[in-house]
């Protein structure tokens, strides 16, 4: 097979602020694998969580290229071993994701089936997605919340908290979002602290959020403070999910006694192959599963959407916050992100005038 890649620039409609900083856009690397006249595509979305950058991704791909081009796209097990052998760290997980997703896209196209159909899944099982409101001053939160709900008619919002300014600011941010949403009817609320709280502040905030109608809290403590989750989870009145604390199926075993669920992201798992392992491992340990995203285009969102029938909660919204998404093919219907019927990922490239 032939392996190639290119960069694409993505710009957000609303810059996303979380406890660790603000992101207005990103440079993704689009990977293509070609064989037998079929081209499969995947995406590497850079982030501080995985450590992948456009430069590191391209360096990894260049290092794998000679060996991978001796393989056929159907040899996924051998390709996974090739990448592991080429680098003791197996390359960046987001870059491995791009290759893995491209191989699945290729296989689906070869079979002439959308991936969800190839896997025997039921698209009607896909839950509505949450849309994200960033950690901003309350007046900005009101504006963003209003714009998101007016444009998308979403029914679930996830508010970013964990402000360095403290818990009073967190409360003001959440109240602002709720006030702005009042005119749009009932909204389901989720909160993501992105590791911005201590055990003590989480113990204060979680009961307050429960009283204000929040259904779950994501990553209350920083990655590395998983021991603190033991006491927090025992007394929590809300389900606790982790995101940054979990990457692969191996992480599930030692987290299972201190959380209610995990947020898998393809950029963290290294692609669809490991994501499926993670889902089944989480199920075996009695955990709920959410599927989320980084700052991705519709290419990676589609990959997540094909897996969505297997999970409990959906947070696939990054493409809905782009003003120049290079790809099309997913559907947004009644608050649900749905994969298409086309073979593989079912994604096509937009014409240049629609992405600039």
**Sheet arrangement for strand 188-192:** 131-133, 156-160, 188-192, 214-218, 240-242, 261-264, 288-291, 313-314
Q: Quote the pLDDT of residue 18.
A: 78
pLDDT in tens, 5-64: 999 999 999 877 777 777 888 999 999 999 999 999 999 999 989 999 999 999 999 999
Buried b (16+ CB within 10 A) or exposed e, 295-308: bbbbbbbbbbbbbb
CATH topology identical between 2-112 and 117-354? no
pLDDT at 181 over 50: yes
Q: Quote the pLDDT of residue 169.
A: 97
Topology of the domain covering 117-354: TIM Barrel (3.20.20)
User: Domain limits of the chain?
Assistant: 2-112, 117-354
Residue 64 CA from chain centroid, whole number: 25
Q: Quote the pLDDT of residue 88.
A: 52
Topology of the domain covering 2-112: Enolase-like; domain 1 (3.30.390)
Give whole-number Cα distances, 305 to 30, 242, 302, 341, in Å.
18, 20, 5, 12
pLDDT at 2 over 70: yes
Share of the chain above pLDDT 90, in %: 92
SS3 readout for the chain = CEEEEEEEEEEEEEEEEECCEEEEEEEEEEEEEEECCEEEEEEECCCCCCCCCHHHHHHHHHHHHHHHCCCCCCCHHHHHHHHHHHCCCCCCHHHHHHHHHHHHHHHHHHHCCEHHHHCCCCHHHCCCECEEECCCCHHHHHHHHHHHHHHHCCCEEEEECCCCCCHHHHHHHHHHHHHHHHHHCCCEEEEECCCCECHHHHHHHHHHHHHCCEEEEECCECCCCCCHHHHHHHHCCCCEEECCCCCCCHHHHHHCCCCCEEEECHHHHCCHHHHHHHHHHHHHCCCEEEECCCCCCHHHHHHHHHHHHHCCEECCCHHHHECCCCEECCEEECCEEECCCCCECCCEECCHHHCC
Give strand pairing partners of 313.
290
Using an 8 Å Cβ cutoff, are 323 and 298 in contact? no
| pTM for this prediction | 0.95
Mean pLDDT of 238-259: 97
How far is residue 349's CA from residue 347's CA, in Å, rounded to a whole number?
Answer: 7
How far is residue 307's CA from residue 345's CA, in Å, rounded to a whole number?
Answer: 11
Give whole-number Cα distances, 213 to 136, 138, 174, 176, 190, in Å.
21, 19, 11, 14, 9
pLDDT in tens, 144-172: 999 999 999 999 999 999 999 999 999 99
pLDDT in tens, 286-322: 999 999 999 999 999 999 999 999 999 999 999 999 9
pLDDT at 90 over 60: no
pLDDT in tens, 60-78: 999 999 999 999 999 999 9
> Could you tell me how many residues make up the chain?
356
């Amino acid at each position: 097979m032939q392996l190639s890649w290119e960069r694409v620039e993505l710009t957000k409609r609303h810059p996303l602020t979380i406890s660790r900083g603000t992101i207005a856009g990103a440079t993704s690397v689009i990977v293509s694998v070609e064989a037998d006249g079929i081209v499969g595509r995947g995406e590497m979305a850079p982030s501080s969580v995985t450590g992948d950058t456009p430069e590191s991704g391209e360096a990894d791909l260049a290092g794998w290229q000679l060996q991978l081009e001796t393989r056929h796209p159907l040899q996924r097990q051998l390709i996974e071993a090739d990448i592991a052998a080429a680098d003791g760290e197996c390359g960046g997980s987001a870059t491995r994701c791009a290759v893995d997703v491209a191989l699945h896209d290729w296989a689906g196209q070869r079979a002439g089936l959308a991936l969800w159909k190839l896997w025997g899944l039921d698209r009607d099982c896909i839950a509505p997605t949450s849309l994200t409101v960033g950690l901003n001053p309350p007046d900005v939160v009101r504006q963003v919340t209003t714009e998101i709900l007016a444009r998308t008619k979403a029914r679930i919002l996830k508010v970013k908290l964990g402000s360095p300014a403290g818990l009073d600011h967190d409360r003001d941010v959440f109240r602002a979002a709720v006030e702005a949403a009042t005119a749009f009817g009932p909204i389901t609320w989720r909160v993501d602290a992105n590791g911005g709280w201590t055990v003590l502040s989480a113990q204060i905030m979680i009961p307050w959020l429960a009283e204000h109608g929040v259904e779950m809290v994501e990553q209350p403590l920083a990655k590395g403070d998983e021991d603190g989750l033991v006491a927090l989870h025992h007394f929590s009145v809300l389900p606790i999910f982790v995101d940054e604390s979990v990457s692969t199926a191996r992480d599930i075993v030692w987290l299972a006694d201190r959380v209610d669920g995990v947020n898998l992201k393809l950029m963290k798992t290294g692609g669809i192959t490991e994501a499926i392992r993670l889902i089944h491992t989480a199920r075996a340990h009695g955990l709920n599963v959410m599927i989320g995203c980084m700052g991705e285009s519709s290419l990676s969102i589609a990959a997540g959407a094909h897996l969505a029938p297997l999970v409990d909660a959906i947070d696939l919204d990054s493409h809905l916050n782009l003003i120049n998404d290079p790809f099309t093919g997913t559907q947004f219907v009644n608050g649900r992100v749905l994969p298409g019927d086309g073979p593989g990922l079912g994604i096509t490239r937009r014409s240049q005038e629609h992405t600039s």
